[in-house]
Amino acid sequence: MSFWRALLEGPVFLFRLWLWAWRNAPRERGWLVLEAAWFSGFIAAGIVLWPQAPAILIYALLVIIGSWTYPVSTVHLPHNANGKNALFQTYTLRGRVIPVLFLELTYHLEHHLYPSVPSHHYAELAQRLEPYLERAGVEPVRVL
């Protein structure tokens, strides 16, 4: 997905995901209705309480707008659709601060290669894979 396509997907992503779950998980529809009611009720409360507590609606809008970045941050940025094989179709970041802030999900290549490994083990997995990745020509992106 291109950057602009991922950005445009943001505002409709959560609704599409909810509809997909509705169609594909009929046994979970009670929870889905509850989730939709909670969301709608929170927005309605924010509108009704605007004069007394504008922070409620502002918070809701910030959360919604923040969720729009999900397709960009999880689809566009960590993937390379033009990669010649599985080793070059995702990126992996190395650093001390950024990987911790992102709960080790900056080890995206490792995640794709070994999806059953829990994320708190990605740093160790990355160290173990380093010689193999280096021989294959994979260059991790260095960050803080």
Write down the pLDDT at residue 37.
97
**pLDDT at residue 36 is higher than 80:** yes
Least confident of 13-17, 49-53, 98-102: 98-102
Task: Classify burial at 14, counting beta carbons within 10 Å of its beta carbon; exposed 0-12, middle 13-18, buried 19 or more.
Answer: middle
- Are 142 and 91 in contact, with CB atoms under 8 Å apart? no
Please state the rounded mean pLDDT for residues 113-142. 91
Query: How do the domains of the chain map onto residue ranges?
Result: 3-69, 78-142
Tokens of 106: 């900056």
Whether the pLDDT of residue 28 is over 80: the answer is yes
pLDDT of 7: 82
Q: What is the pTM of this model?
A: 0.61
pLDDT above 70: percentage of residues in the chain = 99
- 3-class DSSP state for residue 106? coil
Mean pLDDT, residues 1-27: 88
pLDDT at 29 over 80: yes
Q: Which of left, alpha, beta for 139 (phi over 0: left; psi -120 to 50: alpha)?
A: beta
Please say whether the beta carbons of 102 and 44 come within 8 A.
Answer: no
Residue 113 identity: L
What digits encode the pLDDT tens for the residues 52-84? 999 999 999 998 888 888 777 777 778 888 888
d(CA 131, CA 141): 16
Q: For tokens 């970041």, name the residue.
A: 93
Would you call 49 helix, strand, or coil by DSSP? coil
Please list, in sequence order, all residues whose beta carbon lies within 8 angstroms of the beta carbon of residue 113, skipping any fewer than 6 positions away.
86, 87, 129
Distance of CA 70 to the CA centre of its chain: 5
Q: What is the mean pLDDT of residues 14-25?
A: 94
